[in-house]
Amino acid sequence: MADELLVGRICLVTGSSRGIGLGAARALAAHGGTVILHGRDEGALRSALASLDSPGRHHIVTADLSDHEAIERLAVESAKCCGILHVLIHSAGILGPKVPLATYPVAAWNEVIHLNLRVPFLLTKALLPVLRKGDRPSVVFLSSGAGRRGHGGWGAYSVSKFGVEGLTQVWADELRGEGIRVNAVNPGGTRTRMRALAYPGEDPETLPTPDDIAPVFVWLARADTQVTGQNLDARDWLGRQPVA
């Protein structure tokens, strides 16, 4: 059954109190997965938890990943929840200012590179012991079209996503022999708060919702999906079921 695709699989989704992370978490839960929700705001996390199928099956961990100690705490608390991890989806991230590099604030640069690139590296590294306990584990990074071709004004966000592309490929190559799959997903334009900040004049009703693009995350979370080292476009999965 479609709703049993992920039964028994433990899934951590960072930045899942809203947006793409929450859309992915809802889809994982709807297909039987047990989800560890992460965010900075406990109230928002509890609201997100209530929107999942069978909320009592899932967990929340509050951590502000701009704090170095919080990264380790998220890893420790996630491991403590279940003792094993099958799926890790890195959805947490920020846009940063859209200004030319010549005037880009150094503090903002450091924050964006830290949250979008350094945190996914450090958290994956910290969670490898529990991922190695899982059956056919899957790690998913969020990429972007801005990480495939640089455009003026996208600054540290674009650079961080180029880094995510490389991070995905290196992790995939290094972990292939252990059966740990590592892929990236480019969500494309999606109806989120970050998208509204990037394109303030855009009509959000013209964009798919985070729930619309979630099937690709379910497909990558499956134990029998084979791909690794790939960058998938979530829009290719609009209207599809993650069963084929």
Bridge partners of residue 37, in order along the sequence: 13, 60
Neighbouring-strand partners of residue 138: 87, 181
CB 71 within 8 A of CB 122: yes
Catalytic residue, from 141, 157, 171, 237: name it.
Answer: 157
Phi, psi of 192 (to 5 degrees): -130, 170
Torsion of CA 17, 21, 23, 26, to 10 degrees: -70
Q: Check if 157 is active-site.
A: yes
Q: Which residues contact 125 (CB under 8 A, 6 or more apart)?
A: none
Q: CB–CB of 86/34 below 8 Å?
A: no
Element (H or E) spanning 231, and its range?
Answer: strand 231-233
What are the catalytic residues? 157
